[in-house]
Amino acid sequence: MSDRHALFPLKSILLPGCIMDLQIFEARYLDMVSRCFKRDERFLIMPLESGPESGLGDLRFAAVGCEAQIVDWQQRDNGLLGLRIQGRRRGRVSEVQVAADGLVTAQVAWLDEQPDQALQPEHDDLRALHAALLNHPIAEGLGLPALADSQQQLGYELAFLLPFSLDQKSVLLATESPGVRLQQITEWLELLQA
């Protein structure tokens, strides 16, 4: 199934099940948020490969993004609109269009998730790393749910929390198999430790 959705290109990434805070100040995104509230719509966070987040100029973003659902909002002390969003499902974009106000929209084909698998003994080190990362003050403030016996959840949350590059995180978002995603994370961690 394919739908047209607003895109929010960022030099950051959202993954299914993960939480992110945003500050909204541009008119096009304030209008987008208003439409999301009025019509119960969602938008896609797209990893921005090149170009400014302000949207002025030539933007290049990854082909796969993550649907964002607004779960909370507040007026920040700095006067900006603060949003807390949660990643839902992955989508591949096509037929990108830019509106007169600069808002980018695209057709989105939703990607099916591969069947999840239970965590195995070889994932014990990743599970321990995940627990340690959740003790970081920034991660504590996100209110991520307790880790289930899920390769999918562990892979997405580690991809979100670890200091991998945006390109690496984009690869993990586009990876279909939870087991392959965890194996890739393990390989990159081994390279970081070498």
What is the mean pLDDT of the segment spanning 54-78?
83
Higher pLDDT, 121 or 78: 121
Please compute, for residue 152, the number of CA atoms within 13 A of its CA located in the half-sphere on the CB side.
13
CA atoms of 157 and 72, how far apart (whole Å): 20
Predicted confidence band of residue 53 (pLDDT cuts 50, 70, 90): low
The CATH superfamily of 2-110 is LON domain-like (2.30.130.40)
**pLDDT score at 182:** 97
Rounded to two decimals, what is the model's pTM?
A: 0.88
**pLDDT score at 165:** 94
Q: In sequence order, what are the residues at sequence separation of 6 or more whose Cβ sits closer than 8 angstroms to the Cβ of residue 87? A: 14, 15, 16, 17, 18, 19, 20, 45, 66, 67, 68, 156
Query: Domain residue spans in the chain?
Result: 2-110, 121-193
Determine phi and psi for 190, rounding to 5 degrees: -65, -40
Predicted confidence band of residue 62 (pLDDT cuts 50, 70, 90): confident
**pLDDT score at 30:** 81
pLDDT in tens, 127-169: 999 999 988 887 887 778 788 899 999 999 999 999 999 999 9
% of the chain at pLDDT higher than 70: 95
Q: Checking DSSP bridges between strand 60-61 and strand 81-98, what pairing results, if any?
A: unpaired
